[in-house]
Amino acid sequence: MDRKLLAILVCPICKGDLRYDRKANEMLCLADGLAYPIRDDVPVMLSEEAREMSFAEREKAR
């Protein structure tokens, strides 16, 4: 992922910061508990494409 792109992306719902999970290839919004997929190096920032993170996932990502 391009570092410049990572620096400007925010959660489309809460406008909060996102964290890049390289292993899962996702952008994480810990505030909303959503994981946005990255497909072909393009973050898919649509709420309907995001998956809900479990409580354990959220705690581990902090």
> Does an H or E element contain 61, and which?
helix 55-61
Q: Looking at the predicted structure, is the pLDDT value of residue 11 above 90?
A: yes
**Domain membership of residue 42 as a residue range:** 3-61
Task: Decide which of 53 and 3 is more confident.
Answer: 53
**pLDDT tens string 27-52:** 999 999 999 999 998 999 999 999 99
Does the model's pTM come out above 0.85? yes
Total domains in the fold of the chain: 1
CATH of the domain at 49: 2.20.25.10
pLDDT number for residue 62: 84
Cα(10)–Cα(55) distance, integer angstroms: 21
